[in-house]
Chains A and B, each alone.
Chain A
Amino acid sequence: MSKHSSIDSFRDLRPAAANGLYDRRAFLKGGTAFATAIGGYTLSETLNAQSLVDDPWSASAGTPTGPYEARSRFENSVVRTMTNPNGEPRSQQSRTPHHMLDGTFTPNGLHFVISRSGPPDIDPDQHRLAIHGLVKQPLIFTLDSLMRYPMVSRMAFVECGGNSAPMWSPEPLDANVQALHGLVSSAEWSGVMLSTLLEEAGIEPSAKWLIAEGSDSLALHRSVPLSKALDDAMIAMYQNGERLMPGNGYPMRLLLPGWEGNMNVKWLRRIELVDQPAMSIYEARTYAPILPGGKAYQFYFLQEVKSFITHPSPGLLLSDHGFYEISGIAYSANGRISKVMVSADGGESWAEAELQAPVLPKAFTRFRIPWQWDGGPAVLQSRAWDEAGYVQPTRSEIVAARGEASRVPNVNGFPSQHYNGPTSWQVNQTGEVKHVYA
């Protein structure tokens, strides 16, 4: 017996694609009878209906509310994975557990972090931001002074250029969405537009780039074209309404919506206007992916259109046949997501997913589509389009253009960068979900 829904409920609905995909508006259009069936997947067992009794937690008053809310102790397993918990001399990566989250922004404690040498412990009162170089008047700003400027808030994803790197493996790795795509997150950022500060300093006509530098021990720096700086770059000081997390650049970071994560320099202390890129280690070496044949891309600034399914995905057991909502995340540096198509048969047939409103440029868009799992094998896949007309390449397209790793990499390794092909999840008859190539 199906507990969450019954196949009968779907009698009047027309399938939108093979293997159980239904019209994305099935529920929005007055399918209220099943509205309660839509919910997140959990890792716990579903229960059989039984007579209800008063629960122990209802028998007495609850606990006092604290000054800063901690989540339920039952949620303690919703955590980032860490590659370097002891801070050994190498970079640290903490990945977002997308399969445990829903919606379009990432809670601050779960936002991904890559830190080369660990977040510095910055006293915000002592922190300074210098703007100099090819400007009429070099300036320094305190956090206090920046707080007095006109502020803007916007949703934006930040994605590491190396997110999804295990997808370059010649064989599919036995990994979940967190391991494969956990180096992207999305948040509402608030701060001062960089253009305001640059105009105050007075841009010299010879300035073409800026060098942004952090106050971490490595003084990480990246070059950014001035055109991006004047377009939508922000000095972000708030993340989802509160001050930035240390791992995300407290007390201020450069936010370059849609552009390679490493360029969104954290712990920002210096912006120098220059006439040429610095060719810092990260642009000259690290984030320059090698192409088949041996040339390499340089200045791979944009995080191009991508999507992946978070529900179902490996680690979320489908405990029963019947109704499930397939949902996932799509985003693009080129603006808004315009369409996401979903397949339940490995790309043979496709149905259009519903895009959760509001659909914002350069931010996560949540897509959803009803799915009736008949208990048979299924391969789930998504493909996104953006408003600039770009479409996520198929796996064979991206492999033809960009190659594959010559050997199976470690799941935490970075055989190359900027993978934006599709991800396929195979559902087997026992309801387990596995990463496959299709």
Chain B
Amino acid sequence: MYMRSVQFLMLTGLFIHCAVINAQSPGLGTPIDEIDIAAWNIDVLPDGTGLPSGEGNAVQGKIIYEQKCIVCHGLNGQGGISPALAGGEPLSNGIDTAKTIGNFWPYATTIFDYTRRAMPWFAPRTLTDNEVYSLTAYLLALNNIIDQEDIMDATSLPAVEMPNRDGFIIRFPERTP
């Protein structure tokens, strides 16, 4: 995609542009439009920025989970050769308590982001946005955070209140903006 844009920019002579942005810099970066970065630009922020359109619920998610995820993560997300996606002991049990979506993850958006970018392991970024919403809903429902029928979309997902949302202390507050 970027090649197309580079060619376009070369044709229109916009290439000169980068040299004037900063005289201190060699200016060898090639301008590109955000639209041409879209395939890579898949991060979802906690406030929902980056969430695509689409939707899904846990009932739909369970069907996809049992096709694409169960082999590694086990029945009902109980864990298998890969980490458990549901359940979890209280964190006060010890510093080595196994972390799960239910007992640890502070933001529901992280589930969507990670599932979309990294899962299923052998075919990352092959799920449709509706599938990712459905799987996210399923994982939240498995952890009793939402109901089976609750629809997850770009508005409802960032509003989900995760149980451990307030469980954190910033280690180096002076090193964060």
Which residues does A use to contact B, with CB under 8 Å? 88-90, 117, 128, 130-132, 136-141, 145-146, 148-150, 168, 196-197, 199-202, 208-209, 211, 213, 217-219, 221, 225-228, 269-270, 272, 274, 276-281, 284-286, 288-302, 402-407, 409, 415-416
Top 5 A-B pairs ranked by shortest CB distance? A139-B29, A406-B94, A415-B96, A294-B92, A294-B91
- Given the complex, which residues of B lie within 8 Å of A225, measured CB to CB? 175-177
Known contacts: A132-B34, A199-B25, A284-B107. The answer to whether A415 contacts B175 by CB under 8 A is: no
CA of A300 to CA of B44 in the docked complex: distance in angstroms?
21
Give B95-137 as 1s and 0s: 1 = Cβ < 8 Å from A's Cβ atoms: 1110100001111011001100110011011000000000000
Known contacts: A138-B34, A295-B168. The answer to whether A280 contacts B47 by CB under 8 A is: no
Known contacts: A269-B40, A284-B106. The answer to whether A200 contacts B18 by CB under 8 A is: yes
The yes or no answer to B55 lying at the interface (CB within 8 A) is: no
Would B169 and A296 count as touching, CB distance under 8 A? yes
CA of A202 to CA of B31 in the docked complex: distance in angstroms?
12
Would B42 and A89 count as touching, CB distance under 8 A? no
- Given the complex, which residues of A lie within 8 Å of B118, measured CB to CB? 117, 217-219, 281
CA of A17 to CA of B31 in the docked complex: distance in angstroms?
63
Interface of chain B, helix or strand or loop or mixed? loop
CA of A202 to CA of B22 in the docked complex: distance in angstroms?
8
Would B122 and A89 count as touching, CB distance under 8 A? yes
The yes or no answer to B147 lying at the interface (CB within 8 A) is: no
Would A140 and B32 count as touching, CB distance under 8 A? yes
CA of A67 to CA of B94 in the docked complex: distance in angstroms?
53
Would A209 and B93 count as touching, CB distance under 8 A? no
Would A289 and B42 count as touching, CB distance under 8 A? no
- Given the complex, which residues of A lie within 8 Å of B91, measured CB to CB? 290, 294-296
The yes or no answer to B43 lying at the interface (CB within 8 A) is: yes
Would B109 and A145 count as touching, CB distance under 8 A? no
- Given the complex, which residues of B lie within 8 Å of A202, measured CB to CB? 21-22
Would A299 and B47 count as touching, CB distance under 8 A? no
Would B172 and A279 count as touching, CB distance under 8 A? no
CB interface residues, B 34-85, toward A, < 8 Å: 34, 37, 40-47, 49, 72, 81-82
CA of A321 to CA of B144 in the docked complex: distance in angstroms?
64
Q: How many residues of B sit at the interface, in one of the four size bands? A: 35 or more
CB distance from A8 to the nearest CB of B (A): 51
The yes or no answer to B11 lying at the interface (CB within 8 A) is: no
A-B contact pairs, 28 of them (CB 8 A): A117-B118, A132-B32, A132-B34, A136-B21, A137-B17, A139-B32, A141-B28, A141-B30, A145-B28, A168-B96, A196-B25, A197-B29, A199-B22, A213-B40, A218-B117, A218-B124, A219-B118, A276-B45, A276-B47, A277-B45, A278-B44, A278-B46, A294-B91, A296-B104, A297-B171, A298-B170, A406-B97, A415-B96
CA of A162 to CA of B133 in the docked complex: distance in angstroms?
32
CB interface residues, B 161-177, toward A, < 8 Å: 167-172, 175-177
- Given the complex, which residues of A lie within 8 Å of B175, measured CB to CB? 225, 227-228, 299, 301-302
- Given the complex, which residues of A lie within 8 Å of B13, measured CB to CB? none
Would B96 and A89 count as touching, CB distance under 8 A? no
CB distance from B72 to the nearest CB of A (A): 7
Interface centre among A89, A289, A296, A416, by most chain B C-beta atoms within 10 angstroms, is A296
Would A199 and B24 count as touching, CB distance under 8 A? yes
Would B21 and A137 count as touching, CB distance under 8 A? yes
Would A140 and B2 count as touching, CB distance under 8 A? yes
Which residues does B use to contact A, with CB under 8 Å? 2, 6, 17-18, 21-22, 24-34, 37, 40-47, 49, 72, 81-82, 90-97, 99, 104-107, 109-110, 113-114, 117-118, 121-122, 124-125, 167-172, 175-177
Would B104 and A130 count as touching, CB distance under 8 A? no
- Given the complex, which residues of B lie within 8 Å of A200, measured CB to CB? 18, 21-22, 25, 27, 29
Nearest neighbor of B90 in chain A, beta-carbon distance: A294
Would B168 and A221 count as touching, CB distance under 8 A? no
CA of A292 to CA of B97 in the docked complex: distance in angstroms?
11
- Given the complex, which residues of B lie within 8 Å of A409, measured CB to CB? 96
CA of A291 to CA of B26 in the docked complex: distance in angstroms?
47
CA of A88 to CA of B125 in the docked complex: distance in angstroms?
19
Would A285 and B110 count as touching, CB distance under 8 A? yes
Beyond the given pairs A132-B32, A137-B17, A294-B93, 5 more chain A to chain B contacts, judged by CB atoms under 8 angstroms and listed by A's residue number, are A208-B177, A294-B167, A295-B91, A299-B176, A406-B95
Would A291 and B169 count as touching, CB distance under 8 A? yes
Q: Which of B106, B110, B170 contacts A299 (CB 8 A)?
A: B170
Would A226 and B177 count as touching, CB distance under 8 A? yes
- Given the complex, which residues of B lie within 8 Å of A289, measured CB to CB? 95
Known contacts: A270-B40, A272-B43, A284-B110. The answer to whether A302 contacts B92 by CB under 8 A is: no
